[in-house]
């Protein structure tokens, strides 16, 4: 029985090209006690693999977190399969605003200690005691309310290309770094409404549970995150109070939410909104690079990295 992806990214890319199929970019998560993550991991792999689904899925004792690419013709079959899993019945699926057939080129399902690394001890917080979900319309009301604090619980490279108006955006590289920083920043705001948001909801759901455990009362978080906010804004013709683009963890890198460009190329300072990884594999820095600098620096973050990247692979390894 096949339980691992046996094709390379290149082979899957060629298959997608030949099939000329349309693929949906979908994300979902669920906090739920999974007693045997290994068995569940293998079970979910078989389901997704049989439907030609690619992507990245994390499974742990605390639940599942998935970002995947689903062939359009298999989307309804995929939803039916999820409905047959008791704890995933009725789960919200976040459909991307912009679909890209090669968002993912492999199916990787990994077992992790946690589906979101938080640095907290086991059972330190109770995920069933969390903040109140709010809609896009309610989010807009909070943004305009002087008694509400809007808190971005994503990393700095995500918020630098897009965030809500008046949001506090912690300068952190990881979610586990943000939790103690959030508590410190919010200690003088216990009487205010603290409204959190993230990409799809998974991080602010955990952060809101942590704040509840620390005695904060008026905790809210945007249901479905920025992805669902953008959908509701469009469907309900609401005012869009998100500035810029939403950072996404696939080959697209960014999904445009508004026409604002609030970030700049890190090399020439030209307004730009998409990140790239430095082509020097020993560097691999994630940074914003415009198309002209991408060409000038050969997809590298500096002249030094560009020089290294031009060397034969064995010379790169030596350096």
How do residues 91-119 score in pLDDT, each as one tens digit? 999 999 888 899 999 999 999 999 998 88
Helix-then-strand count for the chain, H and E: 11, 14
- Domain assignments of the chain as residue spans, ordered by start: 9-111, 132-231, 275-318
pLDDT of 77 higher than 80: yes
Which pairs with CB-CB distance under 8 Å and at least 24 residues apart come from 74-82?
Answer: 75/24, 75/26, 77/51, 78/26, 78/48, 78/51, 78/53, 81/47, 81/51, 82/28
pTM over 0.95? The answer is no
Same CATH fold, 132-231 and 9-111? Answer: no
Phi, psi of 300 (to 5 degrees): -110, 160
Find the distance separating the first CA and the last CA of the chain, reported in whole Å. 42
Q: Is 300 a catalytic residue?
A: no
Give the containing element (helix H, strand E) for 66.
strand 63-71
Which one of 3.30.70.100, 3.40.50.2020, 3.40.630.10, 3.40.50.720 gives the CATH number of domain 9-111? 3.30.70.100
Model confidence at 243, in pLDDT bands (50, 70, 90)?
very high
In contact, 15 and 83? CB cutoff 8 Å: no
Give pLDDT tens digits for 85-96.
999 999 999 999
In contact, 227 and 27? CB cutoff 8 Å: yes
> Which value, to the nearest 10 degrees, does the dihedral of the CA atoms of residues 152, 112, 253, 163 take?
0
198, 265, 278, 301: the active-site residue: 198
pLDDT of 227 higher than 90: yes
Which one of 3.40.250.10, 3.30.1640.10, 3.90.230.10, 3.40.50.300 gives the CATH number of domain 132-231? 3.40.250.10
CA gap 204, 223 in Å, rounded: 9
CA gap 89, 87 in Å, rounded: 6
Nearest to 187 by CA among 151, 143, 221, 159: 151
């Amino acid at each position: 029985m096949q339980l691992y992806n046996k094709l390379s990214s290149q082979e899957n890319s060629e298959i997608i090209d030949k099939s000329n199929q349309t693929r949906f970019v979908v994300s979902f998560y669920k906090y739920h006690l999974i007693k045997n993550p290994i068995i569940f991991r293998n079970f979910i792999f078989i389901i997704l693999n049989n439907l030609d689904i690619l992507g990245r899925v994390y499974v742990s004792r605390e639940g599942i977190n998935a970002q995947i690419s689903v062939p359009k013709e298999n989307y309804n079959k995929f939803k039916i399969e999820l409905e047959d899993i008791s704890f995933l019945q009725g789960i919200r699926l976040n459909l991307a605003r912009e679909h890209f057939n090669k968002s993912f080129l492999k199916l990787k399902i990994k077992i992790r200690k946690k589906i979101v690394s938080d640095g907290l001890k086991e059972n330190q917080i109770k995920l069933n005691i969390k903040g109140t979900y709010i809609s896009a319309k309610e989010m807009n009301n909070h943004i305009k309310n002087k008694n509400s604090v809007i808190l971005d619980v994503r990393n700095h490279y995500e918020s630098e290309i897009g965030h809500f108006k008046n949001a506090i955006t912690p300068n952190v590289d990881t979610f586990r770094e943000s939790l103690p920083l959030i508590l410190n920043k919010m200690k003088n705001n216990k009487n205010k409404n603290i409204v959190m948001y993230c990409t799809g909801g998974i991080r602010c759901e955990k952060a809101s549970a942590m704040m509840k455990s620390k005695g904060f009362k008026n905790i809210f978080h945007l249901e479905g995150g920025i992805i669902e906010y953008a959908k509701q804004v469009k469907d309900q013709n609401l005012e869009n109070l998100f500035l810029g683009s939403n950072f996404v963890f696939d080959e697209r890198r960014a999904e445009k939410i508004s026409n604002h460009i609030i970030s700049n190329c890190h090399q020439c300072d030209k307004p730009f909104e998409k990140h790239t990884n430095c082509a020097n594999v020993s560097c691999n820095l994630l940074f914003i690079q415009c198309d002209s600098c991408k060409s000038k620096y050969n997809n590298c973050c500096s002249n030094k990295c560009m020089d290294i990247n031009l060397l034969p692979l064995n010379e790169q390894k030596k350096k």
